[in-house]
């Protein structure tokens, strides 16, 4: 449901006003026809109902509750407000819109434009991930068997991996705003300078909520399944809406409209793109600050089209063959993308490859591809600990593009 209107307040001032309400019911997944989906809810997990886990990671048969903390459309564990898709209908997602265009002065060659709006998105959840959870998906491991008698070996049960979604999550929201001043210059050229920003909240991210805290015994070889927070389960991929991002940018553009066989555009952007997302510790660092992986502080681009004057008005075979040709091209240069140094192996004892310690100057050498940064700036952290390196502290080589 939406309302939108353009209001011409004065000949040189136009307002654009609007309001939209978006209602999400079982979005984007919908219902599963036979209710064969399940979700893991951490608050419903009961430690005393966990199965016994042996030192080798196997489960002792017949112990524990195999559906500990799991809900289904027909058994929702006392949770209220959920539909058959195990989600919460969301109403009142209001998205106001406001924009204006103002042309001061008598020559009508300057235009100031601005706007603000709130937008929503149902994101990319996939309900198929919930259909492979217990009790609708089962697997067995058999050891010391043969192809002519596959069931004749020794059976063993291991902790099952799960997919989980927060049934009460909010939907991603993006606030966007901009302010631009454009001026018509001589020789068919328009120069515009603008500020563009946005803030996105409730963004989707997936992480393992069954990751233990840094653990020296695991780093030294103890089976991970014996120390996880939710005993009896393996990795639990939680799909949550607790990430956010922010962009602020200065955008300058000069555009020469096609005249006398020539047109060009020069554009420059100076910006910063920051993210708050899960870090090394999936329990205490679900909103670790840092640059976004797509951050490019500077971006410069030139494109042009030139119509060759030769034979363009000449009739006959020469005009058709040699006339009407044009030269065009694009030249672009941009900052490199940020990246994070990671280590091999599981030194932290959490089941994941982590980050090392940052101990010295990065020593960036932009023109030295084989030794772009100083490896002495990093050192392996002690076993059973996270490294202190932050997210995306290094930036890759700048990119260049030339097309003719």
Which tens digit of pLDDT belongs to each residue from 339-367? 999 998 899 999 988 999 999 999 999 88
pLDDT at 284: 87
For residues 55 and 239, the answer to whether their CB atoms sit within 8 Å is: no
User: pLDDT, tens digit, for every residue of 29-40?
Assistant: 678 889 999 999
Is pLDDT at 124 greater than 70 in this prediction?
no
| Count of Cβ atoms closer than 10 Å to residue 261 Cβ | 12
HSE value, Cβ hemisphere, 13 Å, CA-based, for 366:
6
Question: What is the predicted pLDDT for the residue at 389?
Answer: 96
Q: Under 8 Å CB-to-CB from 114, ≥6 apart: which residues?
A: 99, 100, 177, 178, 179, 180
Task: Give the total residue count for the chain.
Answer: 404
Does 231 lie in the same domain as 144? yes
120 contact partners, CB below 8 Å, separation of at least 6: 22, 93, 95, 171, 172, 173, 174
- Using the predicted structure, report yes or no on whether residue 370 has a pLDDT greater than 90: no
User: pLDDT-derived band of residue 301, with 50, 70 and 90 as boundaries?
Assistant: very high
The predicted model gives 58-84 an average pLDDT of: 94
Per-residue pLDDT, 308: 84
Contact 252, 268 (CB under 8 A): yes
Residue among 171, 250, 166, 178 nearest 207 (CA): 166
What pLDDT was estimated at residue 347? 94
Looking at the fold, whether 245 and 341 belong to one and the same domain comes out as: no
pLDDT given at position 142:
61
Residue 28 confidence (pLDDT): 64
43 and 173 fall within a common domain: yes
Neighbours of 238 (CB within 10 A): 22
Domain shared by 307 and 291, yes or no? no
Taking phi over 0 as left and psi of -120 to 50 as alpha, with beta for the rest, 192 belongs to beta
pLDDT at residue 143, as a whole number: 60
* Contact by Cβ (8 Å): 277, 288: yes
Token pair for 177: 């705003």
Counting Cβ atoms within 10 Å, is residue 119 exposed (0-12), middle (13-18) or buried (19+)?
middle
Alpha-helix residue ranges (DSSP H) falling in 246-395: 316-322
- 292 and 399 belong to one structural domain: no
- What DSSP character marks residue 123? T
Q: What mean pLDDT value characterizes the chain?
A: 90
Tell whether the model's pLDDT for residue 404 goes beyond 90: no
Could you tell me if 9 and 130 lie in one domain?
yes
User: What pLDDT, on a 0 to 100 scale, did the predictor assign at position 95?
Assistant: 95
Find out whether 378 and 340 touch, Cβ atoms under 8 Å: no
The answer to whether the CB of 252 falls within 8 A of the CB of 192 is yes
> Which of 23-27, 78-82, 155-159, 305-309 has maximum average pLDDT?
78-82
Chain mean position to CA 403: 30
CA 34 – CA 27 distance, rounded (Å): 18
**What's CA 109's distance to the chain center, in Å?**
40
pLDDT above 80 (res 27): no
Same-domain status, 288 and 384: no
The predicted structure's pLDDT at residue 118: 97
Alpha carbon distance 347, 344 (integer Å): 8
CA distance 209 to 167: 15
Whether residues 224 and 370 share a domain: the answer is no
The 8-class DSSP code of residue 320 comes to H
Mean pLDDT of 65-82: 94
Determine the average pLDDT of the residues in 104-132: 85
More confident residue, 138 or 225: 225
Say if residue 322's pLDDT is above 80: no
How many structural domains compose the chain?
A: 3
pLDDT at 292: 97
Domain extent, residue 245, equals: 2-297
What is the phi/psi pair of residue 154, to 5°? -100, 125
Question: Looking at the structure, do residues 358 and 401 belong to the same domain, yes or no?
Answer: yes
Across 68-78, average pLDDT: 95
Q: Do 268 and 319 have their domain in common?
A: no
Both 84 and 99 in one domain: the answer is: yes
pLDDT at 150: 63
Over residues 164-173, the mean pLDDT reads 90
pLDDT of 323: 75
Q: What are the angstrom distances between the C-alpha of 182 and each of 68, 74, 81, 210?
A: 62, 59, 50, 53
Lowest-confidence segment of 32-36, 248-252, 383-387 by average pLDDT: 32-36
Q: What is the pLDDT of residue 107?
A: 87
210 and 347 share a domain? Answer: no
């Amino acid at each position: 449901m939406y309302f939108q209107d353009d209001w011409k307040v004065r000949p040189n001032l136009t307002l654009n006003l609007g309001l939209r309400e978006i209602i999400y019911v079982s979005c984007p997944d919908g219902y599963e026809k036979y209710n064969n989906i399940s979700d893991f809810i951490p608050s419903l997990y009961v430690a005393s109902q966990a199965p016994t886990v042996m030192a080798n990671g196997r489960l002792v048969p017949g112990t524990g509750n195999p559906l500990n903390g799991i809900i289904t459309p027909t058994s929702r564990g006392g949770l209220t407000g959920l539909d058959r898709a195990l989600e919460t209908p969301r109403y009142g997602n209001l998205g106001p819109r406001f924009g204006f265009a103002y042309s001061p002065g008598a020559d009508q060659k300057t235009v100031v434009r601005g706007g603000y709006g709130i937008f929503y998105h149902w994101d990319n959840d996939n309900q198929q991930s919930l259909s492979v959870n217990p009790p609708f998906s089962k697997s067995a491991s058999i050891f010391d068997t043969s192809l002519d008698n596959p069931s004749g070996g020794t059976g063993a049960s291991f902790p099952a991996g799960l997919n989980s979604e927060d049934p009460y999550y909010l939907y991603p929201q993006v606030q966007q705003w901009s302010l631009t001043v454009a001026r018509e210059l001589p020789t068919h050229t328009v120069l515009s300078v603008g500020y563009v920003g946005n803030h996105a909240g409730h963004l989707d991210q997936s992480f393992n909520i069954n990751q233990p805290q840094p653990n020296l015994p695991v780093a030294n070889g103890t089976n991970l399944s014996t120390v996880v927070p939710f005993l009896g389960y393996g990795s639990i991929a939680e799909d949550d809406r607790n990430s956010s991002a922010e962009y602020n940018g200065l955008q300058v553009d000069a555009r020469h409209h096609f005249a006398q066989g020539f047109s060009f555009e020069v554009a420059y952007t100076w910006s910063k793109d920051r993210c708050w997302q899960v870090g090394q510790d999936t329990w205490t660092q679900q909103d670790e600050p840092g640059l976004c992986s797509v951050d490019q502080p500077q971006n410069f681009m030139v494109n042009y089209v030139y119509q060759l004057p030769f034979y363009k008005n000449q009739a006959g075979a020469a005009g058709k063959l040699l006339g009407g040709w044009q030269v065009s091209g694009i030249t672009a240069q941009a900052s490199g993308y940020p990246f994070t140094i990671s280590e091999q192996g599981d030194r932290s004892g959490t089941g994941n490859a982590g980050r090392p310690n940052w101990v010295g100057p990065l020593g960036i050498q932009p023109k030295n591809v084989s030794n772009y940064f100083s490896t002495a700036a990093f050192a392996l952290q002690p076993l059973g600990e996270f490294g202190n390196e932050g997210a995306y502290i290094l930036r890759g080589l700048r990119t260049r593009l030339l097309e003719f």
